[in-house]
């Protein structure tokens, strides 16, 4: 698919590449992508939606986009010499795709297609136990690189209740021999607590040690191809931030680079939708999962 002249659509392309849906759904999402690009070219959406994927997916851009698309004005080709309105089933598919894109980007779905019942903001203890069992099943079989990294991140999160910024700060030196423990440098919201230690060593579970045994060799291979880094979590693919330079080009970053916080959060959102069994176990946001794990740790240590 050709590069768009709009940074928001290029960022959408990156999201679609990571989403990993089936062929039929990908064709539907590509239809929506093309319509959004044409809507921006017509000047029919807010100016901010040209530069920001989040602005493109906000309701003040989605509402006029859907109205135009359903009218047939955004069709890629003529039908019977004109641009008739799209059918009811197509309209429903389009709205479901918008819901999916918003959720993958960490935005609450506006339930344009009816949607699903909202998840509890914080999972219960039984849900966390079910999540551990699901991750254990993953570790017993073949996994893609993205699933391998996400499984290790989720296992680490279950052990540490770390914030996303604390996770991306982890380095290989923060792992004890045999991955038996991990050091977390805490960055509490609102700044450091007076008298509190800046970090702590936490014993890892057998599940986390098994997940790291799968992730670390893959990480080493990715890093070997680039300049090298001591960061624990690294990118899997060449990527860009969706921002165009003055010549209309994007700056590409090779695989094996330190994973940024936005990349970590995006991998969580996408993995929640992509991998069987995760969607009912994970809340929409990683922070909600962290709060649930922190509450569980408080109960068990009280």
- Tell me the backbone φ, ψ of residue 182, rounded to 5 degrees: -135, 140
Question: What value does the mean pLDDT of the chain take?
Answer: 86
Residue 278 has pLDDT above 70, yes or no: yes
Residue 112 and residue 236: Cα distance in Å, rounded?
A: 33
pLDDT at 180: 97
pLDDT at 302: 63
Q: What percent of the chain has pLDDT over 70?
A: 86
Among the residue ranges 150-164, 203-217, 238-252, the one predicted with the least confidence is 238-252
Residue 109 has pLDDT above 70, yes or no: no
Mean per-residue pLDDT, 200-205:
96
pLDDT, greater one: 187 or 153:
153
pLDDT at 69: 94
Structure tokens, 274: 């992509």
Per-residue DSSP letters for the chain? -PPPSSHHHHHHHHHHHHH---HHHHHHHHHHHHHHHHHHHTT-S-GGGGT-HHHHHSHHHHHHHHHHHHHTTT-SS-BTTB-PPPPHHHHHHHHHHHHHHHHHTT-----TT---PPPPSS--HHHHHHHHHHHHHHHTS---HHHHHHHHHHHHHHHH---HHHHHT-BGGGB-GGG-EEEEE---TTSPPTT--SEEEEEPPHHHHHHHHHHHHHHHHHHHTSS---BS-B-SS-B--S-B-TTS-B--B-TTSBPPHHHHHHHHHHHHHHSTTTTTTS-SSHHHHHHHHHHHHHHHH-
Provide the pLDDT confidence category of residue 255 given band limits of 50, 70 and 90: confident
pLDDT at 220: 95
pLDDT at 231: 95
Mean per-residue pLDDT, 147-169:
96
Whole-model pTM: value is 0.65
- Predicted confidence (pLDDT) per residue in 27-57, tens digit: 999 999 999 999 999 999 999 999 999 999 9
pLDDT at 1: 63
pLDDT at 293: 94
Structure tokens, 100: 């999916």
pLDDT at 78: 84
- Predicted confidence (pLDDT) per residue in 172-187, tens digit: 999 999 999 999 998 7
Mean per-residue pLDDT, 128-153:
96
Tell me if 157 sits within 8 A of 290, measured CB to CB: yes
Mean per-residue pLDDT, 269-293:
91
Provide the pLDDT confidence category of residue 299 given band limits of 50, 70 and 90: confident
């Amino acid at each position: 698919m050709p590069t768009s002249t709009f940074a928001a659509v290029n960022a959408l392309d990156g999201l679609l590449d990571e989403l990993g849906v089936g062929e039929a759904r990908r064709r539907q999402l590509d239809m929506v992508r093309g319509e959004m690009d044409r809507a921006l070219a017509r000047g029919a959406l807010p100016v901010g939606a040209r530069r920001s994927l989040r602005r493109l997916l906000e309701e003040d851009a989605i509402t006029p986009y859907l109205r135009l698309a359903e009218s047939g004005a955004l069709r890629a080709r003529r039908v019977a010499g004109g641009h008739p309105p799209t059918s009811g089933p197509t309209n429903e598919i389009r709205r479901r795709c918008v819901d999916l894109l918003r959720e993958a980007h960490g935005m609450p779905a506006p339930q344009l297609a009816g949607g699903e019942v909202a998840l509890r903001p914080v999972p219960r203890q039984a849900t966390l136990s079910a999540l551990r069992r699901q991750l254990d099943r993953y570790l017993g079989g073949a996994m893609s690189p993205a699933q391998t990294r996400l499984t290790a991140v989720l296992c680490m999160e279950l052990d540490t209740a770390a914030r996303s910024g604390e996770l991306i700060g982890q380095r290989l030196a923060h792992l004890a021999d045999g991955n038996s423990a991990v050091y977390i440098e805490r960055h509490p919201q609102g700044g450091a607590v007076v008298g509190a230690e800046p970090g702590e060593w936490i014993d890892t579970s057998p599940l986390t040690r098994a997940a790291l045994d799968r992730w670390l060799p893959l990480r080493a291979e990715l890093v070997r191809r680039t300049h090298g880094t001591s960061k624990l979590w690294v990118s899997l693919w060449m990527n860009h931030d969706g921002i165009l330079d003055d010549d209309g080009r994007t700056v590409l970053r090779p695989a094996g680079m330190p994973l940024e916080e936005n990349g970590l959060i995006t991998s969580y959102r996408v993995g929640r939708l992509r991998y069987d069994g995760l969607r009912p176990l994970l809340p929409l946001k990683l922070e909600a999962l962290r709060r649930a794990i922190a509450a569980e740790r408080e109960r068990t240590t009280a």
